[in-house]
Amino acid sequence: MTKEFFAASLAIAMSLPAVARAGEFSAMDADGDGYVTMSEFQQAMPEATAEIFTAADANADGALTDEEVAAAQDAGVLPAKEG
């Protein structure tokens, strides 16, 4: 029973950052289309510059996906929100 509890606890703990990021992304994605545009980005993060958006936009399509936001947070390009 202890091994199962430990394994379940570890799985939950490892998934929490992804859940937090998903919440952050959906908060930025004002229209809920699965992409964060420059306008949405600036509304969510008024202190961030266009250069930061461009650095986070890995495929240079003018919109950020959840994966691009997560990668930018991991790389330190975008701040990871705490709490």
Contacts for 26 with CB less than 8 Å, ≥ 6 apart: 32
Indicate the CATH number for domain 2-75: 1.10.238.10
CA–CA separation, 79 vs 56, rounded Å?
11
Predicted confidence band at 29 (pLDDT cuts at 50, 70, 90)? very high
Predicted confidence band at 22 (pLDDT cuts at 50, 70, 90)? very low
Look over the chain and give the mean of its residue pLDDT values, rounded to a whole number: 77
Top-ranked range on mean pLDDT: pick from 12-16, 22-26, 69-73:
69-73
Kindly state the tokens that stand for 45: 């993060």
Tell me the residue ranges of DSSP E strands in 1-83: 36-37, 63-64
Summarised one tens digit per residue, pLDDT across range 43-54 is: 998 988 999 999
pLDDT surpassing 90 at residue 81: no
Altogether, the residues listed in the chain come to a count of: 83
